[in-house]
Amino acid sequence: MICLKTAYLECRIPEQNRAAFYHLVAARDLFGYILIRHWGRIGTKGQPKLRHRYTSEHDLMKGFQGVLKKRLRHQYKFFGEKKGRSTMSVS
């Protein structure tokens, strides 16, 4: 899998006992383009990964930005982003 872009976000609101993470990976594999979403409570392994397939890189990046904007509206903050192409294994 070739990673095109990633984003790691966290939402910490102690008053609401909220400590959540959200990890997005936009990648290309043998079958096309894929957006992998993984989330959960900080300190746990989280929910099973949710995968969406796209036919073009443009559609993939549009989907990536849409999910990112939604998470930012829900009080998540950036904790890391990586642009560029690199290889990565995601299980």
Could you state, in chain order, the average pLDDT of each consecutive group of 10 residues for the chain (91 residues)? 94 96 95 96 92 97 97 92 50 45
pLDDT reported for residue 86? 47
pLDDT reported for residue 79? 86
pTM attached to this predicted model: 0.84
Encoded tokens for 80: 């890391």
Q: Considering the domain boundaries, does residue 75 fall inside one? A: yes
- The domain in which residue 38 lies consists of 2-82
For 38, half-sphere exposure in the C-beta direction (CA atoms, 13 angstrom radius) is: 16
Question: Distance (Å, rounded) from C-alpha 41 to C-alpha 54?
Answer: 28
pLDDT reported for residue 91? 45
Q: In 3D, which of 54, 50, 40, 30 has the Cα closest to residue 10?
A: 40
**Number of structural domains the chain divides into:** 1
pLDDT reported for residue 48? 86
Q: Considering the domain boundaries, does residue 28 fall inside one? A: yes
pLDDT reported for residue 3? 93
